[in-house]
Amino acid sequence: MRTFATRTGVRLPLLGQGTWEMGAADRASEVAALRLGFDLGLVLVDTAEMYAHGGAEEVVGAAIQGRREEVFLVSKVLPGNASRLGTIAAAERSLRRLKTDCIDLYLLHWAGPHPLRATLEAFQQLREQGKIRDYGVSNFDVDEMVAAEESPHGSGVCANQVFYNLGRRGIERRLMPWCIDRGIAIMAYSPLEQGRLRETKSLRRVAARHGVTPAQVALAWTLRVDGVVTLVKAARAEHVRENAAAADIALSADDLAELDAEFPRPQRDVPLDTL
């Protein structure tokens, strides 16, 4: 799996597994799907304390048993918990659910009521204690990223996880270049719009040329920019295999032009899309 080296030196695999909505139903199948993904090179796994009220972290904790060293583990703290002491307590709870002693990348899920300075201080303390290796943010637009950059310990922010796909291209105008120019990874969640991405004529034509599915083309499209890490959830084995294979699709200039025509980038700044 290709990787992107952030400004803190951490190398993020460019395609990983999401866990939104995991942990509430068939956990055994979800564990099996994650472990199959590891086998296929999808070793980055993203979760959060919010997902199924910690249930998704428990699923990930079961999946990584015996395989922790090969997995790049990402989790997130809820904004309401992100005071200095609250962040540390939340991280401790996540570590217990994940059955590990260290989270590779720990994110603030979105900007909330507590001062960002306090959250970053907690992140730095957790890093010094060896409980996290790196830290970042999620759902931050440019102005919020600038504020983070100017905060104490803001230079340690190495990733920003945001909503991005063919139909949600607003970040390409300002946020994406701002982050990537500074070595801050863009982590794209919901690259298939949670299964609702329009399967257009251009997607079908490009897919037919490559002998793949439209969903695989949509995933490959997000990977065309160095610095974008894509997170995709799959709970079924066939979908895990399809997702992993998308990393090997090389879209041509003609493919990209055809997709651009049907999914144009906004011509003006738009608010950051979130779920």
Q: Where in the sequence numbering do the catalytic residues fall?
A: 51
**SS3 per-residue string spanning 187-255:** EEECCCHHHCCCCCHHHHHHHHHHCCCHHHHHHHHHCCCCCEEEEECCCCHHHHHHHHHHCCCCCCHHH
Tokens (6 digits) for 53: 């009220």
For residues 33 and 36, give the distance between their C-alpha atoms in angstroms, rounded to a whole number.
5
CB atoms near residue 22 (< 10 Å): 27
Beta-strand ranges (E) seen in the chain are 3-5, 11-13, 15-18, 44-46, 72-77, 103-108, 132-138, 157-163, 185-189, 228-232
Q: How far apart are CA 169 and CA 163, in angstroms?
A: 9
Backbone angles phi, psi at 43, to 5 degrees: -90, -10
**What single-letter amino acid sits at 72?**
F
Residue 12 is which amino acid?
L
202 Cβ contact list (under 8 Å, min separation 6) = 258, 259, 261, 262, 263
Q: Nearest-CA neighbor of 240 among 7, 40, 21, 27?
A: 40
